[in-house]
Amino acid sequence: MLKSWIQAARPAAHGMILIPLLAGQALAFRIHGVFDWSWFFHLELYGILYQIYVLYINDYADEELDRDNHTYWFSGGSRVIPQGKLSGQALWIGSWVILGLLLAQALYWGVALQRPGMLLLMIGAVGLGWAYSLPPLRLSCQGHGEILQGVGCGVLLTLTGFYTQVGSLESFPWMAGVPLFLIFYAGNIITALHDYPADLAGNKRTYPVRLGQRRSRKHILALLFCAYILISWVTPNLTNPASFFALAQAPSLLILLIVKSKGWFERGDIENTDECQKFVLWTTLSQVWLLLAWITSLFWGIA
């Protein structure tokens, strides 16, 4: 039973939460020179709880769609419901238990650790998760759920990491939210590519369903290209842009060029499963490389 609950939490997806939280802390370190390991572990616990909450309600909300999804890969839910390991009702109850733990943690931070703004950040994050998966908005099905992922992961979690380490958002470099928003916005489209047949049949208005598979891949490459170029302009106190380009931007842009040159962009419809998987895998790799290299440059001053 415990293995089923862990499967539903999708540990492999934790990077989507950890990376923006770490990015906010890296910005705090670059600007203020502060990094407290105790806050890092507090944030890691928060990130784990938030991930579990979001994914439990997502599985609960997409139960019927996930049962009919036979092309999932990096997507399609945790599969615990279609596999008969847990019921949707069990996940719904579990999500409320996790929500209670998140609220308790936020109140503890505010009262005992002098981070009162954490309650608002937590409420905002929980609200975005609810709006993504559940009525009345349920934007993951109604359309434009990618905006919520861009705001929630790219901006709000980064703000949370920064605020927790610094205790204020006054010095946060707000323009940094632009490339981060674009990266996580594109990430949502990438993970929806493999779900296209089930989403189309279930009238789930994801980006590929609304605009088509090829246009979605074209927009992914354009969004990531813009984000990779913009990120060097918003990083505070860059001392060596050439080093940052060599470390982060050039490899990430090269990966996008490989995706284009190999033909995975043109032939990446889900009907060509192998080509679609390569497009998804390599564009995801380019995102992860860029973000981790950017975080590294902020912490160690390589750039």
Looking at 72-195, which runs of residues are DSSP E strands? none
Cα–Cα dist 143/87, whole Å: 26
208 closest CA partner among 298, 75, 57: 75
Give the pLDDT confidence of 234-264 residue by residue, as tens digits: 876 655 678 888 889 999 999 999 999 999 9
Boundaries of every domain in the chain: 2-300
Handedness of CA 183, 292, 20, 30 (dihedral sign): negative
What would the two tokens of residue 14 be?
């934790």
Give the pLDDT confidence of 24-49 residue by residue, as tens digits: 999 999 999 999 999 999 999 999 99
| Mean pLDDT within 119-124 | 97
High-pLDDT (> 70) share of the chain, %:
94
pLDDT band at 63 (very low <50, low <70, confident <90, very high): confident
Give the pLDDT confidence of 180-232 residue by residue, as tens digits: 999 999 999 999 998 899 889 888 999 999 999 999 999 999 999 999 999 98
Average pLDDT of the residues of the chain? 92
270 closest CA partner among 216, 221, 223, 219: 216
- The pTM of the full predicted model, rounded to 2 decimals, is 0.94
Give the pLDDT confidence of 45-57 residue by residue, as tens digits: 999 999 999 999 9
Tell me what pLDDT residue 72 has: 63
High-pLDDT (> 90) share of the chain, %:
81
Tell me what pLDDT residue 241 has: 78
Tell me what pLDDT residue 237 has: 65
Tell me what pLDDT residue 236 has: 64
Give the pLDDT confidence of 274-296 residue by residue, as tens digits: 999 999 999 999 999 999 999 99
Give the pLDDT confidence of 71-118 residue by residue, as tens digits: 665 666 688 988 999 999 999 999 999 999 999 999 999 999 999 999
Please tell me which residue, 302 or 87, carries the higher pLDDT value.
Answer: 87
Cα–Cα dist 63/44, whole Å: 28
